[in-house]
Structure 1
Amino acid sequence: MTQQPVVLRPSGPVEPVGKNVLGMAAVGVGGFGLAAIYQLSGSRHLGIPCLLHATTGLNCPFCGATRMAAALLRGDLDAAWHFNPVVLVLGPLIGVAVGYQLLTWGLERARLVRLPRIAIDPRVLNLAIKALAVLLVVYGVARNLN
C-alpha cells in the first residue's frame, strides 16, 4: 500500500465517494434526526419502535439507540451509556471515519487540497464486518440475560 501525497490545488478527475460511505452518512444523519424528533416530542416520545422488542419483549443490539442519541443531544453521557453502550462507542468511531472521507472528497472537489483517503483491504473489511456482527449478536444476547 502506497501513501498518497497531499496535493495543494489538485486538478483532474475527483474520485467519487463510495456508496457505502454515503449510506453510512445517511444512517447517521437520519439517526440523529430521529433522536432530535424523539427529544423534541416531549412526553409523547415519537420514534420508531423495535419490532423484536414489540413482539418478544427482548432487546435487540440496537434497542435504545434513539434514546441514547437523544441523551447525547441533551449532553447526558451517563444516560447515553445506559441506553446503548455499544452504539455509543462504535457510532463516533464510524462517524469520524465517514466524516473524514466526506471531508477529503469535499476539499478535493472544491480544488483546495487532495488528502489521502481511507483505503481498507476488502478482506480486512469483510473480517471487520463479521467481527462486528458477532459483537452485536453477543451483546444482544447478553443484554437480555438480566
Structure 2
Amino acid sequence: MSVSQSVVLRPTGPVRPLDRRVWGLTVVGVGGFLLAGVYQLSGQRIGVPCILHATTGLNCPLCGSTRMAASMLRGDFAGAWHFNPVVFVLGPLIAVAVGYQLLAWSLESLRLVKLPRLSMSRRAVDWTVNGLVALLIAYGVARNLF
C-alpha cells in the first residue's frame, strides 16, 4: 500500500475519480447494515436466507452476518462475535479503509483539502483478495467441522 501525495489545502485541478471497487464495497456495506436494520426492526422476521444453508444445512462463511450486524447496531458486540467472528473483525477494517477513501475523495471534490489517497498495486490487490477468499473458505469449512 502506498500514499500518492501530501495534504493540499484548497486544491485545484482535476479530481482523481474514486475506484469502482470502493463504490462497490460502499454499496455492499451500507446495504448490509440497512438489511440488518430491517431485520432488527421487523422483530427478526425479515432477512435474507442463505441458499447453501437452506439446501444443505451447512453454514457458509457469511452465514450469521445479518444477525451479527443487527447485534452490532444494538451494541451487543459479544453477540455479534458469536454470529460471525471473521466478518466481525474484517468488516470494520474494510469499513475504515473505504470510509477514508470516500472522505478523501469528498473533501477533494468540494475543493476543501486534498488528502493522501491509499493505493495498492494490482499484484497487492490480487494477493489481498485471494487471501481473503482463502480465509473465508477455510472459515466456512472449519465452522461446519467443529
* TM, length-normalised to structure 1: 0.96
Q: Percent same amino acid at aligned positions?
A: 63
RMSD between superposed Cα atoms in Å: 1.1
Matched, 1:128 2:131: no
Task: Read off the aligned partner of 1:49 and give its amino acid letter.
Answer: P
What amino acid is the match of 1:5? S
Partner residue in 2 for 1:141: 141
Q: Give the alignment of 1:33-48 within 5 angstroms.
A: 33-43=34-44, 45-48=45-48
Deviation at 1:2, TM superposition (A): 6.7
1:64 counterpart residue number:
64
Relative contact order (alpha carbons < 8 A, sep ≥ 6): 1 or 2 greater?
2
Is 2:19 aligned against 1:18? Answer: yes
Match for 1:99: what amino acid? G
Quick check: 118-127 or 58-67, which moved more? 118-127
Alignment TM-score, normalising by the size of structure 2: 0.96
Tell me if structure 1 keeps the 8 A contact 2:4–2:117.
Answer: no
CA contact (8 A) 2:4 2:119 kept: no
CA distance in 2, matches of 1:14, 1:129: 27
Q: Which residue of 1 aligns with 2:52?
A: 52
C-alpha displacement of 1:3: 4.5
State how far apart, in whole Å, the 2-side matches of 1:60 and 1:13 are.
43
1:103 lines up with 2:106 in the alignment: no
Structure 1 residues 33-68: Cα deviation after superposition (integer angstroms, max 9, x where no partner):
00000000015x200100000000000000000000
Deviation digits for residues 77-122 of structure 1 (CA, Å, limit 9, x no counterpart): 0000000000000000000000000000000001000000011111
Question: What amino acid sits opposite 1:104 in the alignment?
Answer: A
CA distance in 2, matches of 1:47, 1:94: 23
2:100, 2:138 → 1: CA distance?
A: 30
Unmatched tracts of structure 1, length 5 or more: none
Q: Structure 2, unaligned stretches of length 5 or more?
A: none
Q: Specify the SS of the correspondent of 2:52.
A: helix
